[in-house]
Structure 1
Amino acid sequence: MHRIVIAFLLSSLSGLAFAHGMSAEDQARILNAGLLEYMQLGATHMLSGYDHLLFLFGVVFFLTRFKDILKFITAFTVGHSITLIVATLLEISANYYLIDAVIALTVCYKAFDNLDGFKRYFQMSSPNLTWMVFAFGLIHGFGLSTRLQQLPLGTDGLVLKILSFNVGVELGQIVALSIMLVILAGWRKTASFERFSKASNIGLMLFGGLLLLMQLHGYQHTQFPDEFPLNTDDHFHIHEDMEAETSPLTNYPNKLNFDDIYSQDEVLHDDNSYQDEHSHDGEDFHSH
């Protein structure tokens, strides 16, 4: 069972290869989209949001009672719904790389809390988890809002569009949580849960740290473009020049110049046209 959990974490991390922002395809599709399309987009965004999923995985990792699961997930849902709706309506935005970097820190925090880091390293109890999950929900919702604001939302029916997107986010969250809870419930029945629970949360913290570094690197690209001057076209042309310099034909001594060959042939034909016709028998005239 622990292999399934590791596979889940790796599949979540595989999303690092793709930004889970709003693609050009999403922006084009949403131009004339209805409310159902906004719901679908919200669900897809949550299910592909590896940072949100990793945080939720950390939240429910040790939860076994339904009322505890409901309490913390409700706190998270209320938190991210508030900032998603309010920030989008008021057009409050920020650099999404920075927001995602803070979200990555929430993943690290929950993994650290699961490892009893506060008691072990600070000799103190963990902060109230319900309020922390609510506060982190506000941050996650702001991240969702910055992504949603990348779309051409317009002004007609804006509130319904935002609410539909939020409903889609909740539906995606329910699907993801259902899968997580089934996996964790089955894993807890095995002896490997005790052996690998610590390693899983250490891995969760490392994943969060990796996300943090990647988002900060993306932020550097947007804020300090002069430090990353090499664009795609320049990179391509540089490689073309390198290939030309290293080509074995570059300094080949016997290059064939077909233009010269054709020009010489034309000269020969022109010279022949000026030769006088003559005859050896006085009847058949010809030229050489």
Structure 2
Amino acid sequence: MSDRLRNILLVSVTAFLIVSAVASQAHFLLNLNVRIFHVEHTNDGLRIFMRVPMPYLVADKTGEPIEGGLPSAAPFTTNAFEDGRVVHFVDPAEIAVDPLGLGQISETGTVLMARETHVPGSVEYVALHRVGEEPGFATLNEAKHAVSQGSTLKDNPLAYVGDVVVDTVINYNFGHAPSAYTLSSLLNPGLPDQDMTANLILDYGVSDPLVFRTRGLMKDPIEVSRSRMAGIVTFVWEGVRHILEGIDHVLFVVCLVIGAHGLHALLWRVTGFTVGHSVTLSLGFFGYVPSGAWFVPFVETGIALSIIYAAFLAVLEGGSDIDSNRKVFVITVLMGLLHGLGFSFVLHEILQVTSPNIWQSLLAFNVGVEVGQLAIVLVTWPLLSLFARFGPTPEMSLRVSIAIGCGTIASWWTFVRGKDFLEMLLSQI
């Protein structure tokens, strides 16, 4: 391989890492938009208990600016200027006149089909709650209890639309009890990061509840059947997506791989990371961690620092003996503990502790993380092996180039996330 070609490859790898970092975001922020669907089987069809953030129902329904510069309000909302920007409030008067109106929007935007047959739904209940004050909605019983209470949203003070969730019960009469069906959504509110919407579908058939997980606006129908494996696969896929779309996790695993001198050393490193993040993924999800607002930016800062340290280790000429491997194993376990907390933040947004089959979903998500990690290894390790064929110098040049790129990106993250952590910590004093 010529020096020119090798330099082009090294620059390309570094540029790819930098471009990827620009698009990255703190992963625990990506799954704040959550929609939950509890599907109850009845003698003649299906009944859905759904919880949807109100902006999904009305954000695309504002009109053109009218007198004073305000757009005409979306249904069941009012508009006002606040600090020079337009804000949207829930309109309690319009809801009192048409209490099922928001439910009709939900029904129109929800497509339920069984045996390729679509029937319109009948809205039975609608309840509104302020975020942070909403009743539990993790199980079918909790959902039934929530709608039986009615709306808990107070008329005074007015609530911002973005601070409200809407619970809706829709009955679909198919004339029979379908064992399999598809669920999709026509809603396209035009919200930021709406493609990262977390959708949780819980199906209650003749046996234990099954849990399905998907991301996005659900334009493509989600097939729901009585296959337990089908539900598990959705959580495995979510774990894969999370690690591959979380650039900080990708860079950390890449640094682990480029620092391994031989397959045996690689096994020690990957195993250590797996052990560490598996422990804190469970502990973090079940709440055995600090609950202060400072904790998330603290963990995110720690993850960035772990990438810098992993990049530093990658360029050291470490040994490949058992003692060296054991030391690296301990280090990667400790780093894995940090990353596991990061994984738990996103999982906690989409799955509650009281959800059915919680251990099954938790294990499937963790398996998905491992599959994603393996995919990174299978891409990075052959690249190193290719360069190794041309001698130790090209291989080391590639290691150093990647390590510098990862370390530089992580240094910027450390600054930004560390600043957020300090600001959050000082605000608590």
Q: The TM-score by the shorter chain falls in which range? A: 0.5 to 0.7
Is 1:219 the equivalent of 2:421? yes
Would the aligned equivalents of 1:91 and 1:149 in 2 still touch at CA under 8 Å? no
Would the aligned equivalents of 2:259 and 2:399 in 1 still touch at CA under 8 Å? no
Q: Name structure 1 gaps, 5 residues minimum.
A: 119-124, 227-288
Which residue of 1 is the match for residue 341 of structure 2?
Answer: 142
Would the aligned equivalents of 1:42 and 1:166 in 2 still touch at CA under 8 Å? yes
Q: How does 1:134-283 map to 2 (within 5 A)?
A: 134-155=333-354, 156-190=356-390, 192-219=394-421
Is 1:6 the equivalent of 2:203? no
Is 1:50 the equivalent of 2:247? yes
Letter of the 2:22 counterpart? S
Give the drift of 1:6.
2.0
Give the drift of 1:154.
4.8
Greater Cα offset, 23-32 or 163-172: 23-32
1:123-171: per-residue Cα shift (whole Å, max 9, x none)? xx99921110111111111121122112242512111111111111111
Give the drift of 1:224.
6.6
Q: How does 1:73-92 map to 2 (within 5 A)?
A: 73-92=270-289
In structure 2, do the counterparts of structure 1 residues 11 and 153 end up closer, same or farther at CA, with 3 Å as the change threshold?
farther
SS at the partner of 2:350? coil
Q: Name the CA distance, whole Å, in 2 between partners of 1:90 and 1:159.
A: 15
Count, aligned residues: 219
Which residue of 2 is the match for residue 68 of structure 1?
Answer: 265
Which residue of 2 is the match for residue 270 of structure 1?
Answer: none
Which residue of 1 is the match for residue 27 of structure 2?
Answer: 20
Letter of the 2:332 counterpart? V
Give the drift of 1:27.
5.5
SS at the partner of 1:150? helix
Q: Name the CA distance, whole Å, in 2 between partners of 1:117 and 1:66.
A: 16
Letter of the 1:6 counterpart? T
Would the aligned equivalents of 2:18 and 2:409 in 1 still touch at CA under 8 Å? no
1:63-110: per-residue Cα shift (whole Å, max 9, x none)? 242222112101110111111123213453553221111011111112
1:1-53: per-residue Cα shift (whole Å, max 9, x none)? 3245324423542332x342332155541253233222111110000111111
Which residue of 2 is the match for residue 242 of structure 1?
Answer: none
Which residue of 1 is the match for residue 64 of structure 2?
Answer: none
In structure 2, do the counterparts of structure 1 residues 167 and 215 end up closer, same or farther at CA, with 3 Å as the change threshold?
same
In structure 2, do the counterparts of structure 1 residues 39 and 222 end up closer, same or farther at CA, with 3 Å as the change threshold?
farther
Is 1:40 the equivalent of 2:47? no
Q: Name the CA distance, whole Å, in 1 between partners of 2:399 and 2:372.
A: 26
Q: Name the CA distance, whole Å, in 1 between partners of 2:374 and 2:238.
A: 15
Give the drift of 1:61.
0.7
Would the aligned equivalents of 1:30 and 1:37 in 2 still touch at CA under 8 Å? no
Would the aligned equivalents of 1:5 and 1:183 in 2 still touch at CA under 8 Å? no
SS at the partner of 1:30? strand
Letter of the 1:193 counterpart? E
Would the aligned equivalents of 1:30 and 1:38 in 2 still touch at CA under 8 Å? no
In structure 2, do the counterparts of structure 1 residues 132 and 194 end up closer, same or farther at CA, with 3 Å as the change threshold?
closer
SS at the partner of 2:23? helix
In structure 2, do the counterparts of structure 1 residues 111 and 188 end up closer, same or farther at CA, with 3 Å as the change threshold?
same
Would the aligned equivalents of 2:277 and 2:337 in 1 still touch at CA under 8 Å? yes
In structure 2, do the counterparts of structure 1 residues 135 and 154 end up closer, same or farther at CA, with 3 Å as the change threshold?
closer
Q: Name the CA distance, whole Å, in 2 between partners of 1:117 and 1:30.
A: 47
Which residue of 2 is the match for residue 249 of structure 1?
Answer: none
Is 1:131 the equivalent of 2:330? yes
Which residue of 1 is the match for residue 129 of structure 2?
Answer: none
Q: Name the CA distance, whole Å, in 1 between partners of 2:371 and 2:397.
A: 33
Find the structure with the greater CA-based Rg.
1
Q: Name the CA distance, whole Å, in 1 between partners of 2:281 and 2:337.
A: 8
Q: Name structure 2 gaps, 5 residues minimum.
A: 1-8, 34-193, 203-211, 213-230, 319-323
Which residue of 2 is the match for residue 112 of structure 1?
Answer: 312
Would the aligned equivalents of 1:4 and 1:183 in 2 still touch at CA under 8 Å? no
Q: Give the share of equivalent positions with the same residue, in percent.
A: 25
Normalising by structure 2, report the TM-score.
Answer: 0.46
